[in-house]
Amino acid sequence: MSHAPRKKPTTPSPDKNVIYLQKFSEKKEFENRKEDNNGMSNKIEFVDQTLRDAQQSLWGFTMRTDHMTPIAEMMDKVGYRAITTVGSQAFTVQVRNLNEDPWERIRVLSRLIKRTPLRGSYQIGSLSSFDLSTPREIITLWIKRSVANGIKSFWICDYQTDMEKFVFFARIAKAEGAEVVPALMYTSSPVHDSEHWARKTRLLAEAKDCVDRIMIEDASGVITPEGTRELVSTVRKNCEGLALEFHSHCNSGLAPLCYLEAIQSGVTTVHTAVAPLANGTSLPATETILRNVRRLGYSSDLDEDALTAVSAHFRKIAEREGLPVGVPLEYDLFHFGHQVPGGMMTNLTRQLREVGVEHRLNEILEEIVLVRKEFGYPVMATPYSQIVGAQAVENVITGERYQQITDEAIKYVLGYYGEPVVPIDQNVVNRVMGSPRVKQFVNWKPKGYDKSVEEFRREIGPELSDDELLLKILIPGKPVKQGEPKKTVTPPSIKAAAPVSPPIGFPTEFNVDVDGEVFSVKISPVWSQTEKGSEEETLKKPKGPKELPPGAVVCGMAGLILSIEVKVGDSIKGGDLVAMIEAMKMRRHLHSPHSGVVKEICTREGEMVVPEDVLMLVE
């Protein structure tokens, strides 16, 4: 009997990793590789992600400004090429959860960090959510106010298909004196080949007049060392001399090896974080990469004493606040299927926990694999990862695939997010086109896209400054003026495995009112095979859905109430917009299923809701 030869694995096994590093250390190999790089710089620069992507991945954006300020001046002494700070997504967390002014954080950091440029971000379609509806003048104002408050460099990740809009905003950023660094967002699929990345790179090279550098970003952490070598080589051949940066997450455990391969292949700048906020779903540790690149014969201007002080500071913060410290993850083949980015995984787990369905995480990840394939293999990065993830959550929670379709999924199928690499599954297209809501998005254009800043100011608050106006648009329903910053935060969970389910009916989530502010509290008992507790009592809890009052309008989805668009006494028609809910980083419009008069509003802005919660009564 003959057997087909076994294919070699595409990623190194742990034993091969050692051989891989040893190979890099051999002088002859090293010299050969350097000659192939045609005179590339021998000096490696570092972009620090501790204050942005690292804390998003491990701490869920809960790092406070007072965690940063005591060490900011020391960070400035390390010698980074840039220090990244959070963008609009984290602005929302700062305001809602930390009670901080995000603009003030940037101003404070820019006063303390004087030598190293602060890198912020903007999106070309929206301030924060991914509904493509933020007016052009508002995004322009965001860029200008970011620079005015201290941002000197911008990272842009959602340029994927709309280069015209990308160039428009990049030129504004350049006119303000800022550096523009678009990200070439990597993903792995059967259809993303070298020609695809060559074509993407050429688009950026054609916009060279407003692009300073290109960042190769692997937000999902799925690139392999071999894939890194091929990708960097392809980008270098097509980038017309633009400097390259490399950014990857440690979800699969391969990122530290990929960084060495990227450097050997021509990358001169890498993104890292100090050790306490590295690894896990975060980025590689600065200390480790620095040590390895020097061993390979490259140089760096980083001050190791200052770096050690910064690392020690954030380790103390983690210990004091009970926040997780990153540890290397084991290689998990499943991750290459769902490809959920590190920051999104943390946020997804938190959001599922908030509505009591964290135990269904693995089920949702399996659904993400299928939805992504049906959607034509979009890049699992902003905004596509959220579009795929939100629809997967709907498919699992409702119990029927595509019974409820998110607005962003409808827009994606209609082509508003660009053409996918391969056609969308026809069955999904048919299901979406049969949705009653699809008519609202045919020939859709963002409402008020050409509205001026002053028109917004007159509508929202003539007394608001530019910074306050942007916060009010970004976070509807939240007061602009902030009180005292919160000194405690809820440590995020970074476990990917679902816990053992408690007995049916056991209450695990409570809303606690403290001085008028409602907090969602989840209690997770520990169950084992031998200690089951009093199951008989828990089984006596009421089961099944609660009876709805007449005229009830239910939330229909889990998320955060952003705004209530009607008030008691208003007469509304079926289909009218009555509220906006944020779920999976997207704003979702909630429409009344019937006509009548608003008799009672049962929720409030800023409250977390689950699908069966009653939003209001309309009779």
Tokens 């002088």, residue located: 27
Assess whether the region 32-321 and the region 552-618 belong to the same CATH fold: no
Report the chain's mean pLDDT, rounded to a whole number: 83
Global confidence as pTM: 0.79
Distance CA 139, CA 76 (A): 29
Structure confidence at residue 582 (pLDDT): 76
Distance CA 596, CA 477 (A): 24
User: What average pLDDT does range 373-377 have in this prediction?
Assistant: 96
The second-level CATH assignment, the architecture, of 337-441 is Orthogonal Bundle (1.10)
pLDDT in tens, 39-96: 566 999 999 999 999 999 999 889 999 999 999 999 999 999 999 998 887 888 888 8
Strands 509-514 and 517-522: antiparallel
Q: Is the bond preceding 383 in cis, omega lying within 30 degrees of 0?
A: yes
Confidence at 242, pLDDT banded by 50, 70, 90: very high
Question: 203-225: per-residue pLDDT in tens?
Answer: 999 999 999 999 999 999 999 99
CATH of domain 552-618: 2.40.50.100
Percentage of the chain exceeding pLDDT 70? 80
User: For residue 511, what are the CA distances in angstroms to 192, 262, 355, 542, 608?
Assistant: 46, 49, 11, 18, 9
pLDDT band at 443 (very low <50, low <70, confident <90, very high): confident
Q: What CA–CA distance (Å, rounded) separates 108 from 101?
A: 11
**What is the reported pLDDT for 383?**
84
With a cut of 70, say whether residue 435 has pLDDT above it: yes
How is residue 376 annotated by DSSP?
A: T
Confidence of residue 544 (pLDDT cuts 50, 70, 90): very low
Q: Please, which residues have CB within 8 angstroms of residue 99's CB and are 6 or more apart in sequence?
A: 482, 483, 484, 485, 486
Q: Decide which of 3.40.50.300, 3.40.50.920, 3.40.190.10, 3.20.20.70 is the CATH code for 32-321.
A: 3.20.20.70
R_g over Cα of the chain: 25
The alpha carbon of residue 59 and the mean position of all alpha carbons in its chain are separated, in whole angstroms, by 13
Domain boundaries, the chain: 32-321, 337-441, 552-618
